[in-house]
Amino acid sequence: MKKSKNKTRKKQKKILFLSPLPPPFYGSAMSSEMCLNILKNSKNFDVKNIKLNYSKEMSDVGRINLNKIKGIFKVKKQIKKELKKFNPDTIYFVPATSSFGLIRDYLFIKEIKKNWNEKILFHLRSRISEEDWNNPIFRKLYLGMFKGEKVIVLDKILKKDLHGIIPDKNIFILPNAIKNEISEKGIDKIRKQRQKNKNFNILFLSNMDEDKGWFKLLQTCKILKEKGINFNCNFIGAWPSNKEKNKFYSFIEKNFLQNNVKYLSIKTGKEKNNILEKSDVLVFPTEYKLETFGRVIIEAMMFSLPVIANGIASIPTTIQDGKTGFVLKNNSPKEIAEKISRLIKDKKLRTEMGMIGRKRFLKEYEIKRYEKRFLKIL
């Protein structure tokens, strides 16, 4: 028995997994945690992971502090140790693509390339923006990191972000996915309950960075209130700064939205799911320059919710415009208000959109299919 166990171990492919992981809780880190668990649960892989991020809260993300600088040296030491001791067959790396995180990850890749000669498999969960690509310093970092390597991107449309650094044969397309957490019986019960809602419940679920679109939705709430529409709008997510938090509450007070708008703080797990169950639509008017996919969109689809979102990155691929929700063209409060008003007036339409979105989620974005494709790439 001991011999056969040893043979099994020898056949396992050794993966060194380097990525940001929760906490703090944001889409990229949560998706990476999911991928790590897939690999750990597979009998075909032996995995060692190194957490790259040292942010404790969302307000720390993208900012330099002493703890992060110490973290760089600590991670570099871990990388050197695992390359020598673990001797991986594959290195899986989820890089930052902008600001301090890009510089940090470039230093880590430089350390890897000094001690390891195989191709690195990158998983891009954020974009290389045109602004950053046109920065000569950043462009040099991108070339130093990615040239000659392999990469997973979340949608075909995102291949252009790489500007030909990596040939097509070394690019893998793998849209995001999540685990289905609710049965069809449960979904039917939720749909029936939604039919009884007196007010229309709007949900914003993301980090409360203004680039993610929360202020546009607040402006939309003002338009809806002026039209005399009954609605509730709930905002969930972490504040990156007190400045944005103060702007949020100041707008609510100035426009008398206290009875319509609520900030519900950070919600995860069952608490978050309970709010998704009670909502009628998810609105995601993001203009974040590194946006790739919008994990929240497929969370809403899982709960049979129509989604209204800005048509950037892979969002027009994820949402079927007019079928599972609406893809915004102008991303203006007026346009968002028009789409919400249409859903409020037409219960049948929003129910159908939710049902089609749920079917699409199960077919395209549920973890079982993703798992097979992810393991095949590895």
Cβ(164)–Cβ(130) below 8 Å:
no
> What is the C-alpha to C-alpha distance for residues 57 and 131, in angstroms, rounded to an integer?
26
Supply 334's token pair. Answer: 């007026």
What is this structure's pTM?
Answer: 0.91
Give, as one character, the DSSP assignment of residue 280.
S
pLDDT of residue 10: 56
What phi and psi values does residue 282 have, to the nearest 5 degrees?
-105, 130
Q: Do domains 2-174 and 184-365 have the same CATH topology?
A: yes
> What is the C-alpha to C-alpha distance for residues 232 and 203, in angstroms, rounded to an integer?
8
CA atoms within 13 A on the CB side of 301: 30
Nearest to 30 by CA among 238, 203, 234, 177: 177
For residue range 227-262, list pLDDT tens digits in order.
999 999 999 999 999 999 999 999 999 999 999 999
pLDDT of residue 67: 78
Domain boundaries, the chain: 2-174, 184-365
Report the chain's terminal Cα–Cα distance, integer Å.
28
pLDDT of residue 225: 97
Distance (Å) of CA 14 to CA 118, 377, 378? 13, 14, 10
> What is the C-alpha to C-alpha distance for residues 280 and 200, in angstroms, rounded to an integer?
6
The more confidently predicted of residues 27 and 37 is 37
Per-residue pLDDT at 59 exceeds 60:
no
What lies within 8 Å, CB to CB, of 249 at 6+ separation is 263
Cβ(323)–Cβ(246) below 8 Å:
no
Please state which CATH class domain 2-174 belongs to: alpha beta
For residue range 349-374, list pLDDT tens digits in order.
999 999 999 999 999 999 999 999 99
Sign of CA dihedral 177, 325, 286, 227: negative
Largest CA distance in the chain: 75
CATH 3.40.1360.10, applies to 184-365 = no
Question: What average pLDDT does the segment 296-322 reach?
Answer: 97
Per-residue pLDDT at 159 exceeds 80:
yes
pLDDT of residue 198: 85
Long-range pairs for 137-146: beta carbons < 8 A, 24 or more residues apart: 138/98, 138/102, 141/102, 141/103, 141/106, 142/97, 144/106, 144/109, 144/110, 145/95, 145/105, 145/106, 145/109, 146/122
The more confidently predicted of residues 77 and 6 is 77
Model confidence at 306, pLDDT cuts 50, 70, 90, reads very high
